[in-house]
């Protein structure tokens, strides 16, 4: 049974009608979870069709102090879309139109519910793509990508979601429709609300339309796979690769545990202390040179071997190791805490050796891999979630990851966001004055505090 005020229920129902304002149990059950496997039941689920309906619903929520949690495709890994305070889940499933593809202006205007994969498909005939490529691309929404500042391996060359949005139409917590930025790539006009709202996880304003920056599709790709004696020599190679002018299209790292795991599962990978997967893109003429520059930079003290693969089957085989990793992880332990932390590129060796020490201390395998070019590593603590002691040790190790990362001058999240999963570590990542400034901005845009309450910012002490 919903506990929402009757006057609010009447208003919402009158606004959206019975088909798009749902309080039935199955619909509520289907909209309470995200990919963090957290769950909370909303009191109602709304399916607005346009910005005006979103604004009217937000105004009703603000008037009645009802919590409102925006939801894209529910693939967040942090609980960001889970309605812990009940209230309304606002699904963008019915706002999933590509409004316009403006090839000559290299931008697309989309509603937030468009799936990343569907957008890419629509852009392909224009020879364009939208760079953010989270591993969930086929099923995650552009609105969700923007809300969490999602990235992916291509971010090393093309940036994450925030770097690939030119303008937004958004609904603030007061139910006002605001418009910032537009179909242009240079802007020094007023405050940059666009980039502020991106990554704010639905706590400042709800994105109801986005103008996305598009990039011409490269005509050709090729890959390199380099093996190193140890993490330090691989990290030195990462710094060399990033210091020369050919920016790799991807630059992925795997530690010795990841390599051992792949070997154990039959992958075609030699024994090594660390591995880099490096991708070049460009056109047929320049790709060999780009690849050579990247290979030259990859080479250095501690490199054991280097494979080159042109586009097609050979390249797929090379990247197969990366794709095999996540399934392979499940063969060690059923439970996994995956933290997408960030450190300065030069501190990758320190992070990995600290994780090795933590692994010994916690008596649990820790596997590190990820987007080395951005210093954005995925640290995976592996544990048996049916074993209470292992689970407790894994949970106790988690804060130590964050402590290490912050001590190395890094930060909590590179592309997953904060949600509730990392919320209580925000007070370690930011000092009190900075958190207070964030809270002031939140209060400015959401004075009633109804937008995704309890996410991103830690509760005030006392």
Among positions 361-390, residues that touch a copy of itself (CB under 8 A) are 371, 373-376
From 5-13, 134-142, 196-204, 327-335, span contacting a copy of itself (CB under 8 A): 196-204
Determine which residue in the list 417, 448, 452, 453 makes contact with a copy of itself, applying CB under 8 A: 417
Determine which residue in the list 160, 272, 355, 451 makes contact with a copy of itself, applying CB under 8 A: 160
In the complex, the smallest distance separating the C-beta of residue 290 from a copy of itself, rounded to whole angstroms, is 7
Q: Pick the closer one to a copy of itself by CB: 262 or 287.
A: 287
Q: Pick the closer one to a copy of itself by CB: 396 or 437.
A: 437
Determine which residue in the list 96, 148, 359, 452 makes contact with a copy of itself, applying CB under 8 A: 148
Q: Does 289 bind a copy of itself (CB under 8 A)?
A: yes
Torsion region of 370: left, alpha or beta (phi above 0 gives left; psi -120 to 50 gives alpha): left
Q: Pick the closer one to a copy of itself by CB: 260 or 295.
A: 295
From 111-119, 173-181, 355-363, 383-391, span contacting a copy of itself (CB under 8 A): 173-181
Q: Does 187 bind a copy of itself (CB under 8 A)?
A: yes
In the complex, the smallest distance separating the C-beta of residue 393 from a copy of itself, rounded to whole angstroms, is 26
Determine which residue in the list 25, 121, 268, 283 makes contact with a copy of itself, applying CB under 8 A: 283
Contact string 208-247 vs a copy of itself (x = CB under 8 A): --------xxxx-------------------x--xxxxx-
Please work out the total of residues on this chain that contact a copy of itself, with binding judged by CB under 8 A. 99
Q: Pick the closer one to a copy of itself by CB: 259 or 412.
A: 412
Q: Does 353 bind a copy of itself (CB under 8 A)?
A: no
In the complex, the smallest distance separating the C-beta of residue 274 from a copy of itself, rounded to whole angstroms, is 17
Which three-class secondary structure string do you get for the chain?
A: CCCCCHHHHHHHHHHHHHHHEECCHHHHHCCCECCCCCECCCCEEECCCCHHHHHHHHHHHHHHCCCEEEECCCCCCCCCCCCCCCCEEEECCCCCCEEEEEHHHCEEEECCCCEHHHHHHHHHHHCEECCCCCCCCCCCEHHHHHHHCCCCCCHHHHCCHHHHEEEEEEEECCCCEEEEECCCCCCCCCCCHHHHHCCCCCCCEEEEEEEEECEECCCEEEEEEEEECCHHHHHHHHHHHHHCCCCCCEEEEEEHHHHHHHHHCCCCCCCCCEEEEEEEEECCCCHHHHHHHHHHHHCCCCEEEEEEECCCHHHHHHHHHHHHHHHHHHHHCCEEEEEEEECCHHHHHHHHHHHHHHHHHHCCCEEEEEEHHHCEEEEEEEECCCCHHHHHHHHHHHHHHHHHHHHCCCECCCCCCCCCCCHHHHHHHCCHHHHHHHHHHHHHHCCCCCECCCCCCCCCCC
Distances in Å between the Cα of 209 and the Cα atoms of 50, 180, 447 are: 9, 11, 22
Cα 384 to chain centroid, rounded: 26
In the complex, the smallest distance separating the C-beta of residue 289 from a copy of itself, rounded to whole angstroms, is 4
Q: Does 182 bind a copy of itself (CB under 8 A)?
A: yes
Q: Pick the closer one to a copy of itself by CB: 85 or 286.
A: 286
In the complex, the smallest distance separating the C-beta of residue 387 from a copy of itself, rounded to whole angstroms, is 31
The footprint of a copy of itself on residues 108-147 (CB under 8 A) is: 127-128
The footprint of a copy of itself on residues 38-97 (CB under 8 A) is: none
The footprint of a copy of itself on residues 94-113 (CB under 8 A) is: 102-107
Q: Pick the closer one to a copy of itself by CB: 41 or 426.
A: 426
The footprint of a copy of itself on residues 422-441 (CB under 8 A) is: 422, 426, 429-431, 433-434, 436-438, 440-441
In the complex, the smallest distance separating the C-beta of residue 363 from a copy of itself, rounded to whole angstroms, is 29
């Amino acid at each position: 049974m919903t506990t929402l005020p009757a006057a609010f229920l009447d208003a919402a129902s009158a606004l959206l009608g019975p088909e798009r304002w749902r309080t039935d149990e199955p619909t509520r059950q289907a909209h309470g979870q995200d990919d963090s496997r957290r769950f909370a039941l909303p009191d109602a689920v709304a399916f607005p069709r346009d910005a005006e309906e979103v604004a009217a619903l937000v105004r009703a929520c603000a008037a009645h102090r009802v919590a409102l949690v925006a939801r894209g495709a529910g693939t967040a890994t942090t609980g960001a879309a889970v309605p812990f305070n009940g209230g309304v889940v606002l699904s963008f499933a019915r706002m999933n139109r590509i409004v316009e593809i403006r090839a000559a202006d290299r931008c697309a205007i989309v509603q937030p519910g468009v799936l990343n994969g569907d957008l890419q498909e629509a852009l392909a005939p224009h020879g364009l793509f939208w760079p953010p490529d989270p591993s969930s691309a086929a099923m995650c929404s552009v609105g969700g990508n923007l809300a969490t500042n999602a990235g992916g391996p291509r971010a090393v060359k093309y940036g994450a979601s925030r770097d690939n949005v030119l303008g937004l139409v958004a609904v603030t917590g007061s139910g006002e429709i605001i418009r910032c930025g537009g179909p242009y790539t240079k802007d020094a006009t007023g405050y940059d609300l666009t980039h502020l709202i991106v990554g704010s996880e639905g706590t400042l304003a709800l994105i109801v339309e986005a103008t996305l920056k598009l990039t011409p599709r490269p005509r050709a790709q090729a890959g390199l796979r380099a093996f190193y004696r140890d993490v330090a020599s691989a990290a030195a190679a990462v710094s060399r690769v990033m210091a020369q002018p050919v920016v790799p299209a991807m630059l992925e790292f795997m530690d010795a545990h990841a390599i051992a795991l792949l070997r154990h599962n039959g992958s075609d990978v030699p024994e090594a202390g660390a591995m880099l997967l490096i991708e070049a893109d460009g056109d047929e003429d320049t790709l060999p040179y780009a690849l050579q520059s990247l290979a030259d930079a990859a080479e250095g003290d501690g490199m054991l071997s280097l494979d080159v693969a042109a586009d097609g089957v050979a390249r797929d085989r090379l990247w197969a190791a990366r794709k095999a990793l996540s399934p392979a992880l499940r063969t060690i332990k059923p439970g996994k805490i995956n933290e997408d932390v960030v450190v300065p590129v030069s501190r990758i060796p320190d992070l990995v050796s600290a994780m090795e020490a933590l692994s010994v201390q916690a008596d649990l395998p820790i596997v590190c891999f990820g987007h080395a070019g951005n210093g954005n590593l995925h640290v995976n603590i592996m544990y048996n979630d049916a074993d209470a002691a292992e689970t407790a040790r894994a949970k106790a190790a988690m804060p130590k990851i964050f402590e290490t990362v912050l001590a190395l001058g890094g930060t909590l999240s590179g592309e997953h966001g904060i949600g509730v999963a990392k919320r209580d570590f925000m007070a370690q990542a930011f000092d009190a004055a900075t958190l207070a400034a964030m809270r002031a901005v939140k209060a400015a845009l959401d004075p009633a505090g109804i937008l995704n309450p309890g996410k991103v910012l830690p509760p005030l002490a006392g």
